[in-house]
Chains A and B, each alone.
Chain A
Amino acid sequence: MGIDDKEIEKLAKLSRIKITDAEKKKLSKDIENIFEYVSEIQEISSNLQDDNFLNSRFVNVMREDGEPHKSGIYTEKILKEAPDIEDNYIRVKKIL
């Protein structure tokens, strides 16, 4: 299966990455090669007769809501890492 320019542009858009024309060419060739390589899994039978051994070690971890930390104790430290803030808010360009 080939990955053409249009497909690469679509993937870049979905991935929120701007790519240059040079990158486009290289990426489409690379991704096509890797995709071709991984396609071998299509041929494998994956019907397991005995799947009792699966995932028995992991359980979903749930907890009740409650015991929140004191409001605001991390605010300053975390906002210090934000690229742009105003008071206690992170500032971004307008969306609508």
Chain B
Amino acid sequence: MIDIKKLDIKMANKHLIDGDFSAVELAENCIKNIQEKNLKINAYLEIYDDILKKAAEADDKIKNKKDISILTGIPLALKDNILYQGKRVTAGSKILENYTATYDATVIKKLKEEGAVFIGRTNLDEFAMGSSTENSAYGVTKNPYDMERVAGGSSGGSAAAVAFGGALAALGSDTGGSVRQPASFCGVVGLKPTYGAVSRYGLIAMGSSLDQIGPIGKTISDVEIIFNAIEGNDKMDSTSLFENRRQISGKDIEEKSIGIPSDFINDGIDKDIFENFNDSIKKLKSLGYKIKEITLPNIKHSLAVYYIIMPAEASTNLARFDGVRYGLRKEGADMIGDYFETREAGFGIEVKRRIMLGTHILSSGYYDAYYNKANAVRNVIKYDFYKAFSEVSAIITPTTPAPAFKIDEKSNPLSMYLADIFTVPVNLTGMPAISIPSGIVARGKAKLPVGLQIIAPHMREDILFNIGRDFLAEK
């Protein structure tokens, strides 16, 4: 019996190489956990039917010591908005209920080459629009720490699957916090890489200037291993960074200095989270880090900027779902009637809301005053971060303003949007950030994990990993 919850990728790799267990046995243990837990938690929407075959192929490679990497035979979960050729991909929407991917996303192609074993596709808010997976057309994903609460979102299925041992690690996508927030709610590590570091070819698009694929794992080193496997320039994604533009940014400043934007954090945050954050600061100080107050004068406008830019981009991206080329088609009276019927039947309410909001923002009379203005303010926020990074090598905040909330607790969309207050600014700047487990807070009988967010300058994922490893006392 292999305890998936106690196994990280490095250890699993060593056991596979030493022959302590096989990739097939490893996959079988994940499947067993899924059979026990998934009916309640609803992290997976589908378990692939070829897992054991793929695991056996990995075992052959390991036996023959041919084309193996640290990820060969490692079971991974996929957020259901990443295309895997020949498999269903729904984006959590009815409009893609019967859609089969016609090609592999670049991240899938790369992980296949490494010999990773894909276990299944995980639940998400429809088209990654949400912070709780409650917007999924296929039911909510429950938090493994408390079944009355959400796992977070939009990559809630991926985070929950890693937390309950349904895979060793997972891929998610992060537009405004969708990897980091569920990682924080489920007590695991989640990375949003630098915008452009990981190819988005084959990721179903929401906000194209914000979206980034990122790994979720139990340890810093698991997340780092997957990040190293999936990053790199890709000619299929025009926003992918070229090697010569991946130069390290930020001035040469003392590695161990961390900034805290106190003004921003003190506002409207849960008491326990605040206490936990102060404990994290103490811990970092005791590890030899210098903590410095910084000001990010415009960061408070991030959520407003985000809820202009993201719906504008989403409304444009989702125009492709017209019932003509793929996905659902509902018959109307005429050709244009088909569009109306298809989109009415296929999209859930949050998706409709964001498409209509984006359409409003992009309509004449609002485009300049809102969309262009939001982009200008976005640059001002970016500039604040650049300035801060001339003084410190990283910035920390809590990942979320409160621990996992109860299912159906947030009935008004704005209150849901506020759950992403600390994660959204990072997507606006394109900088990398990680959420790491920073402790537990109590809510009645429930013990809920909370996360610490670390932010670094562009292409400095290494800083995130170093601080994270120190904090978690990882070797």
Interface of A toward B, CB cutoff 8 Å: 3, 8, 11-12, 14-19, 23, 26-27, 30-31, 33-35, 37-42, 44-46, 48, 50-51, 53-54, 56-61, 74, 77-78, 80-84, 90, 92-95
**Alpha-carbon distance between A48 and B322 when the two chains are bound, in angstroms:** 41
CB neighbours (8 Å) of A83 from chain B are 323-324, 326-329
Interface stretch, picked from B66-74, B214-222, B368-376, is: B368-376
CA distance A76 to B322 in the complex (A): 20
B17 interfacial contact with A, CB 8 Å: no
Contact B353 A30 (CB under 8 A): yes
Contact (Cβ within 8 A) A17 B383: no
Residue pair A17, B239 in contact (C-beta under 8 Å): no
Q: 1/0 contact trace for B372-392 toward A, CB 8 Å?
A: 011011011011001000000
Determine whether the beta carbon of B196 is less than 8 Å from that of A27: no
CB distance from B116 to the nearest CB of A (A): 24
A90: B residues at CB distance < 8 A = 324-325
Q: In the bound complex, how far is the Cα of B274 from the Cα of A94, in angstroms?
A: 61
Taking Cβ atoms with an 8 Å cutoff, the residues of B that contact A are 99-100, 102, 196, 235, 238-239, 241-242, 245, 298, 301, 303-305, 307-308, 315, 319, 322-329, 334-341, 343-344, 347, 349, 352-353, 355-357, 359-360, 363, 369-370, 373-374, 376-377, 379-380, 382-383, 386, 412-414, 417, 458
Find out whether the CB atom of B102 lies under 8 angstroms from the CB atom of A77: yes
**In the bound complex, CA of A31 to CA of B344 (Å):** 18
B380 and A14 contacting across the interface, CB-CB below 8 Å = no
The answer to whether A17 touches B360 (Cβ under 8 A) is no
Q: B373 touches which one: A37, A41, A93 (CB < 8 A)?
A: A41
User: Provided the pairs A17-B347, A57-B458 are in contact, do residues A48 and B380 lie with their beta carbons within 8 angstroms?
Assistant: yes
Main secondary structure of the interface of B (DSSP, over half): helix
Pick from B338, B349, B379: contact of A51, CB below 8 A.
B379
From A3, A15, A44, A53, B377 is in contact (CB under 8 Å) with A44
Contact A15–B323 (Cβ < 8 Å): no
Residues of B with C-beta under 8 A to A15: 315, 343, 352, 355-356, 359
Residue from the list B307, B323, B339 in contact with A37, Cβ < 8 A: B307
A41 and B322: CB pair below 8 A? Answer: no
Check B304 against A46 for contact (C-beta < 8 Å): no
Q: For residue B347, which residues in chain A have a CB less than 8 angstroms away from its CB?
A: 17
Kindly state the separation between the CA atoms of A19 and B343 in the bound complex, as whole angstroms. Answer: 10
Using Cβ atoms and an 8 Å threshold, which residues of chain A touch B412? 30, 33
B360 touches A35 (CB 8 A): yes
Question: What are 21 residue pairs bridging A and B, where the CB atoms are less than 8 Å apart in the complex?
Answer: A15-B315, A15-B343, A16-B340, A17-B340, A17-B343, A18-B340, A18-B341, A23-B349, A33-B413, A35-B360, A37-B307, A39-B304, A46-B380, A50-B383, A57-B458, A61-B235, A82-B326, A83-B326, A83-B327, A93-B337, A94-B335
Closest to A80 in B: B100
CA A74 to CA B356, docked complex, whole Å: 34
Q: Is the CB of B360 within 8 A of A11?
A: yes
Q: Let me know if B352 and A17 touch, CB within 8 A.
A: yes
State A60–B239 Cα separation when bound (angstroms).
Answer: 9
Cβ contact within 8 Å between A92 and B324: yes
Q: Are B353 and A27 in contact (CB under 8 A)?
A: yes
Residues of A within 8 A of B339 (CB): 16
Residue of B at shortest CB range from A54? Answer: B379
Of B303, B323, B363, which contacts A14 at CB under 8 A?
B363
Q: How close is B315's CB to chain A, nearest CB, in angstroms?
A: 7
Give every chain A residue within 8 A of B341 (Cβ-Cβ). 18
A56 and B382 alpha carbons, distance in the complex (Å): 13
Least Cβ–Cβ distance between B458 and chain A, in angstroms? 7
Question: Looking across the interface, which residue of chain A has its beta carbon closest to that of B355?
Answer: A15
Residues from chain B with a CB closer than 8 A to the CB of A40 are 301, 304
CA distance A31 to B414 in the complex (A): 10
CB-based contact B324/A38 at 8 Å: no
Give CA–CA (A61, B353) in the complex, Å.
33
* Residues in B whose Cβ lies below 8 Å from that of A74: 102
Closest residue on chain B to residue A84 by CB atoms:
B329
Q: Is the CB of A42 within 8 A of B373?
A: yes
Kindly state the separation between the CA atoms of A74 and B329 in the bound complex, as whole angstroms.
22
Asked if A27 and B356 make an inter-chain contact with CB atoms under 8 angstroms apart, the answer reads yes
B298 contacts which of A35, A44, A78 (Cβ < 8 Å)?
Answer: A44
Q: Nearest Cβ distance between residue B440 and chain A, in whole angstroms? A: 32
> How far apart are the CA atoms of A44 and B417 in the complex, in Å?
21
Q: Which of B102, B308, B360, B379 contacts A78 (CB 8 A)?
A: B102
* Residue in A19, A37, A48, A94 whose beta carbon sits within 8 Å of that of B414 in the complex: A37
Q: Is the CB of A16 within 8 A of B352?
A: no
A80: chain B residues at CB < 8 Å are 100
Contacts of A59 in B (CB 8 A): 242, 245
